[in-house]
Amino acid sequence: MNDELVIYTGDQCHLCEQAKALLVPVLEQSGLDLKEVDIDSDEVLKERYGLRIPVLLLPNGQEKGWPFTAAQIMRLLS
């Protein structure tokens, strides 16, 4: 298990900005880092996540698509 959450985002994605703000307390409590991946730079990622962003990839490999809450993410991490 690694020590980061990955968030798949896109250019000018207001939901992505909301998701990142929501994750601040999760990151503080969990000690995880957040790695942001812009799907616009990769055709495979764009095809996979284009209509679903923001999408979180948890350290255990599980994905959680928007919408989500900080409490849901904390439960998934425990």
In a domain, 23, yes or no: yes
How much is the pLDDT for 64?
Answer: 97
In a domain, 35, yes or no: yes
Q: What average pLDDT does range 47-76 have in this prediction? A: 96
Confidence grade of residue 77 (pLDDT, cut at 50, 70, 90): very high
Q: Which domain holds residue 11?
A: 4-67
In a domain, 76, yes or no: no
The C-alpha atoms of residue 50 and residue 47 are separated, in whole angstroms, by 6
In a domain, 17, yes or no: yes
* pTM for the structure as a whole: 0.92
Domain count, the chain: 1
CATH of the domain at 38: 3.40.30.10
In a domain, 9, yes or no: yes
- Beta strand spans in 1-78 (E): 4-9, 33-38, 55-57, 63-65
